[in-house]
């Protein structure tokens, strides 16, 4: 089954919204109209770098120089 516009939008937009710090429940409500949606996990594409950045932000740690 080919992707439709809504699926493509979610695929690219949800990881971007997560990186901005929007909570999972807010994203679910925005994208599916309910916080009970199980579709969230389908569109989450996080990398190790995403995890590092979030932990650094939450704990106020300076990023490592590469």
Q: Model pTM?
A: 0.67
| CA 20 – CA 50 distance, rounded (Å) | 11
* Burial degree of 48 (CB within 10 A; 0-12, 13-18, 19+): exposed
pLDDT for 64 equals: 63
Beta-strand ranges (E) seen in the chain are: none
- Whether 63 shows a pLDDT value over 90: the answer reads no
Contact 11/43 with Cβ under 8 angstroms? yes
Average pLDDT of every residue of the chain: 85
Q: What is the largest CA-CA distance in the chain?
A: 44
């Amino acid at each position: 089954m080919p992707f439709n516009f809504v699926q493509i939008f979610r695929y690219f937009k949800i990881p971007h919204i997560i990186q901005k710090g929007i909570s999972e429940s807010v994203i679910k409500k925005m994208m599916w109209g309910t916080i009970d949606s199980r579709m969230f996990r389908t569109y989450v594409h996080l990398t190790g770098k995403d995890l590092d950045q979030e932990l650094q932000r939450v704990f106020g740690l300076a990023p490592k120089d590469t």
